Amino acid sequence: MSNITAVAKQFFEACETGKGWEGCRAYCLPNASFAAQAEPLAEVRTLQGYVDWMKGLLTFMPDGRYVVKSFATDDDRNSVCAYGVFSATHTGQGGPCPPTGKSTTTDYVYVMDFDGDKIRHMTKIWNSGWAVKELGWG
């Protein structure tokens, strides 16, 4: 297994379980960037901002969980792609509205670009509109 694969797996686990920047920073460059063409993340430009957003999300969706469907490394491009399915129910206080009690199961992909053994940029590919609709937020 490539070293970037191991780093990506550790980062993915820390990010998806709400560890925030404190739990993810060891796997990333300090100024790692972030991009997503998804409305809830339109203003997030740093990987630190994204992992802290995930930490916050899990405060009002405390049953949030994921299943990894695929993990692939492209050593020629120093890139790792992770495809997962996230499931959760909006039961806690916080978020864009009062708790709806509604659930989502939503597909997403992380594309992590590396500089050496640290993530320098991550793109999230996600149909946020679908998830927002399922959760009753839109």
Q: What is the CATH number of the domain that holds 73?
A: 3.10.450.50
CA distances from 31 to 28, 76, 95 (A): 8, 23, 26
Residue 106: how many other CB atoms lie within 10 Å: 18
Report the pLDDT value the prediction gives residue 1, as an integer from 0 to 100.
53
31, 72, 23, 78: which is closest to 51 by C-alpha? 23
Does residue 113 contact residue 78 with C-beta atoms inside 8 Å? yes
Residue 56: both structure tokens together? 């916050």
Report the pLDDT value the prediction gives residue 49, as an integer from 0 to 100.
98
Report the pLDDT value the prediction gives residue 94, as an integer from 0 to 100.
85
Report the pLDDT value the prediction gives residue 138, as an integer from 0 to 100.
77
Structural domain harbouring 86: 3-134
Low-confidence ranges of the chain (pLDDT < 70): 1
Tally of domains in the chain: 1
